[in-house]
Amino acid sequence: MKTATPTMHLGGLVLCWFLACVAHADTTLQVIDPWIREAPPTAAVHAAYMTLVNNSNQAVLIDSVTSPDFASAEVHRSWVEDGIAHMQPVSQLEVPASGTLVLEPGGYHLMLFDAQRPLQAGDTVTLLLHRADDNCILVKAPVMRSNDTGHHQH
């Protein structure tokens, strides 16, 4: 009889998380144009961007992000104040009722840490946006070169 290893347990947890997310798929929040910037092969951090459209008459709160493709993920906000660039993690994203929130370079974005495999342009990554009400949004985001996206540098 084979004994379960910590890796097997982690894989099972990720699968359960994924299935729970799919089972509670959200139709009120639409994800448009998700993408992840290609980084050098040795990079420990990647950034993800997308537009979130709330089709409901109540605000939607995203309180965490996970991915089976990364060790961890965080929501961050960047801004420039007095000519100095700043970035900090935020605990939640709020998509206003019947509104839009853009995750883009220089603003809100997802920081993705320690890719589980080397990523390059053309690859696809799975992201799970966890809502405060326990619903979950499954996002498939392509990895793209920054000059292929029409977006600015992070």
Sign of the CA dihedral 24, 48, 105, 110? Answer: positive
Asked if the structure places residue 108 within a domain, the reply is yes
Asked if the structure places residue 44 within a domain, the reply is yes
Asked if the structure places residue 1 within a domain, the reply is no
Residue position matching structure tokens 């080397």: 118
Asked if the structure places residue 70 within a domain, the reply is yes
Contact 51, 102 (CB under 8 A): yes
Query: Is residue 8 pLDDT above 90, yes or no?
Result: no
Task: Classify residue 129 as exposed, middle or buried by CB count within 10 Å of its CB (0-12, 13-18, 19+).
Answer: buried
Q: What is the pTM of this model?
A: 0.79
pLDDT recorded at residue 149: 54
Give tens-digit pLDDT for 54-91: 999 999 999 999 999 999 999 999 999 999 999 999 99
Instruction: Give the count of domains, the chain.
Output: 1
Range of the domain at 91: 26-149
Asked if the structure places residue 67 within a domain, the reply is yes
Compute the mean pLDDT over every residue in the chain, rounded to the nearest whole number: 84
Predicted confidence band of residue 33 (pLDDT cuts 50, 70, 90): very high
Q: What is the CATH number of the domain that holds 144?
A: 2.60.40.1890
Asked if the structure places residue 47 within a domain, the reply is yes
Sign of the CA dihedral 62, 67, 70, 71? Answer: positive
Contact 28, 60 (CB under 8 A): yes
